[in-house]
Amino acid sequence: MLKKIVAIGPESTGKSTLCTQLAAALGGVYCAEYARQYMLENGTDYDFDTLLTIAKGQMAAEAAAETALVAGPTAGGLIFLDTNQYVMKVWCEYVFNDCHRWILNHIATAPYDLYLLCRPDVPWVKDELREYPNEKPRQQLYHMYKDLLMHQHVPWVEVSGNYAQRFELAKRAVEKLGASNP
Protein backbone atom coordinates (compact mmCIF):
# COMPACT_ATOMS: atom_id res chain seq x y z
CA MET A 1 0.00 0.00 0.00
CA LEU A 2 1.28 3.43 -0.95
CA LYS A 3 2.13 5.74 1.98
CA LYS A 4 2.89 9.44 1.66
CA ILE A 5 5.04 11.07 4.32
CA VAL A 6 5.45 14.86 4.15
CA ALA A 7 8.14 16.97 5.81
CA ILE A 8 7.04 20.52 6.47
CA GLY A 9 8.38 23.45 8.45
CA PRO A 10 10.31 26.68 8.00
CA GLU A 11 13.20 26.86 5.57
CA SER A 12 16.53 25.41 6.65
CA THR A 13 15.11 22.95 9.14
CA GLY A 14 16.49 19.84 7.46
CA LYS A 15 13.44 18.74 5.44
CA SER A 16 15.37 17.76 2.31
CA THR A 17 18.07 15.97 4.27
CA LEU A 18 15.48 14.13 6.34
CA CYS A 19 13.46 12.98 3.32
CA THR A 20 16.49 11.73 1.42
CA GLN A 21 17.78 9.89 4.51
CA LEU A 22 14.41 8.27 5.15
CA ALA A 23 13.99 7.20 1.52
CA ALA A 24 17.45 5.61 1.57
CA ALA A 25 17.01 3.91 4.94
CA LEU A 26 13.43 2.68 4.57
CA GLY A 27 13.23 2.22 0.84
CA GLY A 28 11.08 4.64 -1.05
CA VAL A 29 10.94 7.54 -3.43
CA TYR A 30 12.08 11.05 -2.54
CA CYS A 31 10.03 13.91 -4.01
CA ALA A 32 12.04 17.14 -3.91
CA GLU A 33 10.64 20.59 -3.29
CA TYR A 34 9.68 21.98 -6.70
CA ALA A 35 10.09 25.61 -5.55
CA ARG A 36 13.86 25.20 -5.37
CA GLN A 37 14.06 23.95 -8.95
CA TYR A 38 11.72 26.66 -10.17
CA MET A 39 13.62 29.50 -8.50
CA LEU A 40 17.02 28.21 -9.59
CA GLU A 41 15.74 28.20 -13.18
CA ASN A 42 13.67 31.43 -13.06
CA GLY A 43 15.25 33.61 -10.38
CA THR A 44 14.22 34.51 -6.88
CA ASP A 45 11.79 37.33 -7.66
CA TYR A 46 8.23 36.11 -7.29
CA ASP A 47 4.70 37.40 -6.90
CA PHE A 48 1.42 35.89 -5.74
CA ASP A 49 0.74 34.25 -9.12
CA THR A 50 4.22 32.72 -9.19
CA LEU A 51 3.33 30.80 -6.05
CA LEU A 52 0.38 29.20 -7.84
CA THR A 53 2.71 28.12 -10.65
CA ILE A 54 5.06 26.62 -8.06
CA ALA A 55 2.16 24.90 -6.29
CA LYS A 56 1.07 23.26 -9.54
CA GLY A 57 4.66 22.23 -10.23
CA GLN A 58 4.82 20.63 -6.78
CA MET A 59 1.66 18.63 -7.50
CA ALA A 60 3.12 17.48 -10.84
CA ALA A 61 6.32 16.38 -9.06
CA GLU A 62 4.25 14.48 -6.52
CA ALA A 63 2.27 12.75 -9.30
CA ALA A 64 5.54 11.81 -11.04
CA ALA A 65 6.88 10.34 -7.78
CA GLU A 66 3.70 8.28 -7.40
CA THR A 67 4.04 7.02 -10.97
CA ALA A 68 7.68 6.10 -10.39
CA LEU A 69 6.77 4.29 -7.21
CA VAL A 70 3.93 2.30 -8.76
CA ALA A 71 6.08 1.36 -11.75
CA GLY A 72 9.29 0.72 -9.82
CA PRO A 73 10.66 -2.06 -7.66
CA THR A 74 9.22 -0.48 -4.49
CA ALA A 75 5.62 -0.54 -5.77
CA GLY A 76 3.20 0.03 -2.95
CA GLY A 77 5.87 1.62 -0.79
CA LEU A 78 6.80 5.02 0.50
CA ILE A 79 6.95 8.51 -0.93
CA PHE A 80 8.86 11.09 1.12
CA LEU A 81 7.68 14.54 0.13
CA ASP A 82 9.86 17.55 0.83
CA THR A 83 6.81 19.85 0.99
CA ASN A 84 3.18 19.89 -0.06
CA GLN A 85 0.34 22.36 -0.45
CA TYR A 86 0.38 23.25 3.26
CA VAL A 87 3.79 24.81 2.63
CA MET A 88 2.36 26.71 -0.32
CA LYS A 89 -0.55 27.93 1.82
CA VAL A 90 1.77 29.20 4.54
CA TRP A 91 4.08 30.84 1.99
CA CYS A 92 1.15 32.61 0.30
CA GLU A 93 -0.33 33.80 3.56
CA TYR A 94 2.95 34.82 5.17
CA VAL A 95 4.10 36.88 2.21
CA PHE A 96 0.83 38.00 0.58
CA ASN A 97 -1.85 37.57 3.28
CA ASP A 98 -3.88 35.50 0.83
CA CYS A 99 -3.99 32.01 -0.62
CA HIS A 100 -5.06 30.70 -4.01
CA ARG A 101 -8.33 28.73 -4.00
CA TRP A 102 -6.56 26.04 -6.10
CA ILE A 103 -4.10 25.40 -3.24
CA LEU A 104 -6.89 25.25 -0.65
CA ASN A 105 -8.86 22.80 -2.80
CA HIS A 106 -5.85 20.50 -3.06
CA ILE A 107 -5.27 20.63 0.68
CA ALA A 108 -8.85 19.49 1.21
CA THR A 109 -8.62 16.56 -1.20
CA ALA A 110 -5.03 15.27 -1.24
CA PRO A 111 -4.44 12.16 0.91
CA TYR A 112 -1.34 11.90 3.12
CA ASP A 113 -0.40 9.43 5.81
CA LEU A 114 2.04 11.26 8.09
CA TYR A 115 3.46 14.74 8.55
CA LEU A 116 6.91 15.41 9.96
CA LEU A 117 6.96 18.94 11.39
CA CYS A 118 10.57 20.14 11.43
CA ARG A 119 11.25 22.48 14.32
CA PRO A 120 13.61 25.44 13.67
CA ASP A 121 16.10 24.35 16.33
CA VAL A 122 19.01 23.67 13.96
CA PRO A 123 21.17 26.53 12.70
CA TRP A 124 19.89 28.39 9.66
CA VAL A 125 22.13 27.68 6.65
CA LYS A 126 22.46 30.39 4.03
CA ASP A 127 21.91 29.60 0.38
CA GLU A 128 20.86 31.66 -2.62
CA LEU A 129 17.15 30.86 -2.21
CA ARG A 130 16.50 31.28 1.50
CA GLU A 131 14.78 34.41 2.79
CA TYR A 132 14.36 34.26 6.57
CA PRO A 133 17.59 33.93 8.58
CA ASN A 134 16.24 35.63 11.70
CA GLU A 135 14.71 33.70 14.57
CA LYS A 136 11.44 35.66 14.74
CA PRO A 137 10.15 34.72 11.23
CA ARG A 138 11.39 31.15 11.67
CA GLN A 139 9.32 30.84 14.85
CA GLN A 140 6.29 32.55 13.28
CA LEU A 141 6.38 30.17 10.33
CA TYR A 142 6.87 27.16 12.59
CA HIS A 143 3.78 28.09 14.59
CA MET A 144 1.76 28.56 11.39
CA TYR A 145 2.66 25.02 10.34
CA LYS A 146 1.96 23.61 13.79
CA ASP A 147 -1.45 25.30 13.87
CA LEU A 148 -2.34 23.77 10.50
CA LEU A 149 -1.36 20.30 11.68
CA MET A 150 -3.26 20.60 14.92
CA HIS A 151 -6.45 21.32 12.98
CA GLN A 152 -6.42 18.44 10.52
CA HIS A 153 -6.86 14.65 10.82
CA VAL A 154 -3.58 13.18 9.49
CA PRO A 155 -1.11 11.98 12.14
CA TRP A 156 1.95 14.17 12.66
CA VAL A 157 5.07 14.22 14.76
CA GLU A 158 7.38 17.06 15.69
CA VAL A 159 10.97 16.47 14.60
CA SER A 160 13.64 18.26 16.61
CA GLY A 161 17.19 18.01 17.89
CA ASN A 162 20.36 17.55 15.89
CA TYR A 163 20.21 15.90 12.46
CA ALA A 164 20.80 12.39 13.83
CA GLN A 165 18.07 12.84 16.44
CA ARG A 166 15.68 14.18 13.81
CA PHE A 167 16.31 11.16 11.62
CA GLU A 168 15.69 8.70 14.47
CA LEU A 169 12.47 10.45 15.54
CA ALA A 170 11.17 10.51 11.97
CA LYS A 171 12.22 6.94 11.25
CA ARG A 172 10.40 5.67 14.34
CA ALA A 173 7.28 7.61 13.35
CA VAL A 174 7.30 6.12 9.85
CA GLU A 175 7.91 2.62 11.21
CA LYS A 176 5.08 3.08 13.72
CA LEU A 177 2.87 3.93 10.78
CA GLY A 178 3.66 0.42 9.53
CA ALA A 179 4.95 1.83 6.31
CA SER A 180 8.51 0.57 5.91
CA ASN A 181 9.29 -1.58 2.89
CA PRO A 182 10.52 -5.15 3.44
Each residue of 13-36: pLDDT tens digit? 999 999 999 999 998 999 999 999
> What CA–CA distance (Å, rounded) separates 28 from 69?
8
> What CA–CA distance (Å, rounded) separates 99 from 115?
21
Residue at 160: amino acid letter: S
Q: Tell me if 11 sits within 8 A of 61, measured CB to CB.
A: no
> What CA–CA distance (Å, rounded) separates 98 from 12?
24
Mention the CATH class of domain 3-176.
alpha beta
For the stretch 32-72, pLDDT in tens is 999 999 999 999 999 999 999 999 999 999 999 988 877 66
Strands (DSSP E) contained in 28-149 are 29-31, 78-81, 114-118
User: How far does Cα 168 stand from its chain's mean position?
Assistant: 18
